[in-house]
Structure 1
Amino acid sequence: MMVIGLDMMGGDFAPREAVNGVKLFLDKHPSPAVHLALIGDQAQVQPLLDEAGIDASRYRLIHAPEVIGMHEHPTKALKEKIRSSINTGLHLLKEGKIQAFISAGNTGAVMVGALYSIKSMPGIQRPTISTLVPREDGSTGLLLDVGVNADCKPEHLVQFAILGTLYAKNILKVADPGVGLLNIGEEEGKGNLLSQSAYPLLRDNNKIRFVGNIEGRDLFSRKADVIVCDGFTGNIVLKMAESVYDIMNRRQIRDEYFELFNYEYYGGTPVLGVNEPVIIGHGISKGSTFEKMISLAGEVLETRLLDKFRENFTPAKD
């Protein structure tokens, strides 16, 4: 049985939308193969669980009375709020009492807590997070890093490419993912020092299929399945794409393709490169988003994705 932990207090609409997500997931998955560890303030969460009529045999509520706010300093909050839902969830994950942890709370606190508690995999220099890229033909690409690593070295981009390739194969079911380097031109030698230095490393790595440089106009095409860049660039791309969706909504423009830019369509994103599965969700996640995050955590466990990561990275020698 898989035991998946969920931060019930994370997000702007917690805990009600987290409870809605739990109900959606359990209704869709009546088999008891997944047991949920719900982490949050018992006084707030239990009445909502009872109101939703959720089968008590499918979950365990773990009391965590403190909440790390969305705008609190991550390191300071983790130190001061030992009994927060984020701290409690990561501790349970470290102790092996849950097999995955999900939070739509303070992203910085989740990342810092994960790095300090469950730590990076041996051989991984920089864990990363990605975003799914909706492509015009209906398929899905992957962009990474999108904000964790604002400054990168060339070898970091190579590791992102390997992690992204394995994620695309196992989760997105892309048989032979092509990897592109986000750049300002197609030709080798284009770009800043990071791009110029990363290109030959990506080209010569036998664990990926490198297809060359990818320009901004190629992001939503099938030119590459996995696109790598530093987190500064990736976060700008992500926020710009989110703003396009928001503008279209405000202008009441409805288009089937652009509906795929809605973050709720995908759920959360895993932290790639840490020792245990951690899924991070958007702060304004609703019930359907939480349901997708729980499903994604289950898929990461079922595919043994982290074991495949470990097989592809050699621990650094002292």
Structure 2
Amino acid sequence: MTLAIDAMGGDFGPCVTVPAALQALASHSELFLLLVGHPDTLMPLLAKADSSLMGRLQVIPAESVIASDARPAQAIRNSRGSSMRVALEMVKEGRAQACISAGNTGALMGLSTLLLKPLDGIKRPALMSVLPHQQQGKTVVLDLGANVGSDSAMLVQFAVMGSVMAEHVLGIARPRVALLNIGHEETKGLETIRDAAAVLRESPQINYIGYLEGNELLTGKTDVMVCDGFVGNVTLKTMEGVVRMFLSLLKSSGEGKKRSWWLQLLGRWIQKRLTKRFGASQP
């Protein structure tokens, strides 16, 4: 498999993406990477890389970088020659099977739609994340912010995408799909959610189980949770904030006073577990 990497994207750019790319190559012998960015910036970071890894890595020049704070419409208009666009063009041309970028999310969604086109029957892309739940499994959650407003047809399409992801990537046979709502009753929620539910109930390809509330997201009651981008993003950021607050409380609870050694050990263990399970939740 060949992946195109926007090496210039993200808060820290190449100083993170290049080591991550090398680590991925070391972990997966069948992987090939196209590292897209400024050669003068990338090559010094690759100077000490293992020669066996460099045989599966190629640097693709790019002239510019899309700023993380650029408005999506402006970024798309000025995207020609940028590392993100060049990486997506690698997929469009068939030189790579997928593109990875930690750059401007709005620009990535817009450029992907413009260059790669959605599959037939899919109107818009969605952001998704895989969250751990208390049954030691995983739940696919989407949309997490690609579309602030979504009509009922888009929610149904998100359900299809999430179901395919859960089945073919996570290996969950006939994954359960739920809509995030403010109650379990069929009359609850916005009209768009109720209309989407009516369609999903009549779709034999989707194992639709009904509505779930926000406090059930991490219970393992569903394999796929579907919502619009506004609700999904607020939900994810709230959860991240709660985890951060809990970690901060663990860290500060023993400051300025003695704690039993077993409490310190327990605190460190809980902190590591939370960081491991929720550290990569942001899409």
2:191 is equivalent to residue 193 of structure 1: yes
2:121 is equivalent to residue 123 of structure 1: yes
Q: Which residue identity lines up with residue 8 of structure 2 in the other structure?
A: M
2:258 is equivalent to residue 261 of structure 1: no
Q: Which residue of structure 2 aligns with residue 21 of structure 1?
A: 20
What SS class does the counterpart of residue 213 from structure 1 fall into? strand
> d(CA) in 1 for partners of 2:198 and 2:78?
45
Unaligned stretches of 5+ residues in structure 2: 252-266
* 8 Å CA contact 1:183, 1:214 repeated in 2: yes
Deviation, 1:166, is 1.1
Q: Which residue of structure 2 aligns with residue 293 of structure 1?
A: none
Q: Which residue of structure 2 aligns with residue 207 of structure 1?
A: 205
What SS class does the counterpart of residue 4 from structure 1 fall into? strand
2:275 is equivalent to residue 247 of structure 1: no
* TM score, norm. by length of structure 1: 0.78
> d(CA) in 1 for partners of 2:156 and 2:236?
20
Unaligned stretches of 5+ residues in structure 1: 269-281, 283-318
What SS class does the counterpart of residue 25 from structure 2 fall into? helix
Q: Residue by residue, what CA displacement relative to the aligned partner does 1:177-226 show, whole Å, maximum 9, x if unpaired?
A: 11111111111111122222222211111111111110112111121111
Q: Which residue of structure 2 aligns with residue 105 of structure 1?
A: 103
Q: Residue by residue, what CA displacement relative to the aligned partner does 1:155-175 show, whole Å, maximum 9, x if unpaired?
A: 211111111111101111111
Q: Residue by residue, what CA displacement relative to the aligned partner does 1:91-113 show, whole Å, maximum 9, x if unpaired?
A: 22211122211101111111111
* 8 Å CA contact 1:146, 1:234 repeated in 2: yes
Greater shift, 207-216 or 124-133, is seen at 124-133
* 8 Å CA contact 1:150, 1:230 repeated in 2: yes
* 8 Å CA contact 1:42, 1:65 repeated in 2: no
What SS class does the counterpart of residue 51 from structure 1 fall into? coil
Matches within 5 A, 1:145-184: 145-184=143-182
Q: Which residue of structure 2 aligns with residue 38 of structure 1?
A: 35
Percent identity between the two aligned chains = 37
Q: Which residue identity lines up with residue 279 of structure 2 in the other structure?
A: N
2:51 is equivalent to residue 49 of structure 1: no
> d(CA) in 2 for partners of 1:127 and 1:220?
24
> d(CA) in 2 for partners of 1:140 and 1:84?
35
* TM score, norm. by length of structure 2: 0.87
* 8 Å CA contact 2:109, 2:125 repeated in 1: no
> d(CA) in 2 for partners of 1:6 and 1:257?
29
Q: Residue by residue, what CA displacement relative to the aligned partner does 1:58-92 show, whole Å, maximum 9, x if unpaired?
A: 11101113111110122222322421101111122
Q: Which residue identity lines up with residue 14 of structure 1 in the other structure?
A: G
Q: Residue by residue, what CA displacement relative to the aligned partner does 1:122-143 show, whole Å, maximum 9, x if unpaired?
A: 2212221212121012211011
> d(CA) in 2 for partners of 1:158 and 1:176?
16
> d(CA) in 2 for partners of 1:25 and 1:11?
17
Deviation, 1:257, is 5.2
> d(CA) in 2 for partners of 1:114 and 1:197?
28
> d(CA) in 2 for partners of 1:211 and 1:229?
14
